[in-house]
Structure formats: structure tokens, C-alpha cells
Amino acid sequence: MIALIQRVLEARVTVGGRTVGEIGPGLLALVAVERGDQPANATRMVERLLGYRVFADDAGRMNRALADTGGGLLLVSQFTLAADTSKGTRASFTPAASPDEAEILFNRLVAIARSRHPVVETGVFGAEMSISLINHGPVTFRLTA
């Protein structure tokens, strides 16, 4: 499982012109499920999303995690993160899980996150989405689980 996380001041996902998920300060996580991922990957990814230290402490160092700040978490499925781009000029998506498998694990990720954190929003799995955000820093990391 892969997550590209961005520390944001705010982020919003719209589908068909309608806002479906929105947070203030927190993390936007674009998430890809790969072939072979298991429920344990979803559990570990939630631990990483909530525990990864990307927020400043009083000294200005990145020593605080989302769980410490209570900020929002916006989870958006994005299978293209699992693409193999090592050859040619067109991505191969064979590393990505099938849509059916990916949806099950993505929904599990969302459920676990909601059970452990007070503010969790999502996009719509498989939909064409528009994402707007204000990246704070900018701070962006790629996490795997």
C-alpha cells in the first residue's frame, strides 16, 4: 500500500461539482492499493498516517503527528501511484490491485482511520475527482505499508 501525504492548511475533493470531502489543517493522503496487499497493510498504513511526524512543535521542528494535532485526514484513492513507470513513455498498472480488491482494502483503511481519529473525510472510490489543496510547507512524503 502506498500513500502520498501532503501537509495541508485545507483540502477539498469534489465530484461532479459537489464537495464530497473537506478538511482544514491536516493531511491529504492519496492512497494506492497494490497487488498482494492484505488487511494488515491497511492497519499499518493508518498507524503511519496518524503517527508520522510532519507537524511543527514549539521549536519549529517536525516532531508532531496528526494524532497529536487532531487535524483532519482526507483519504483519496489513487491507483496511479502504484504504476510501473520504469520503461517507455506510458505507465503500466499491473502493480495495482484490481478495482474490486482495492476498494475493499481502501474501505477498510477508511474504517480503521475513522475508528482511531476524529476527523476523517474521503473522496469517492473510482470516481473522477477534483482535488484542491493548500500544501503547507510544502511538505510531501511517500509512505509505504
Q: Three-state SS for 78?
A: coil
- Do 122 and 23 meet the contact criterion of CB atoms below 8 Å apart? no
Active site residue: 19, 80, 85, 140, which one?
A: 80
Q: Which three cell numbers, joined as nine digits, stand for 46?
A: 493508518
Q: Examine the residue annotation and report whether 80 is marked as an active-site residue of this protein.
A: yes
Active site residue: 6, 38, 69, 79, which one?
A: 79
Active site residue: 6, 55, 78, 122, which one?
A: 78
| CA-based nearest residue to 106, from 134, 64, 70, 145 | 145
- Do 64 and 112 meet the contact criterion of CB atoms below 8 Å apart? no
- DSSP structure class, residue 105: H
- Do 126 and 65 meet the contact criterion of CB atoms below 8 Å apart? no
Q: Examine the residue annotation and report whether 78 is marked as an active-site residue of this protein.
A: yes
Residues annotated as catalytic are: 78-80
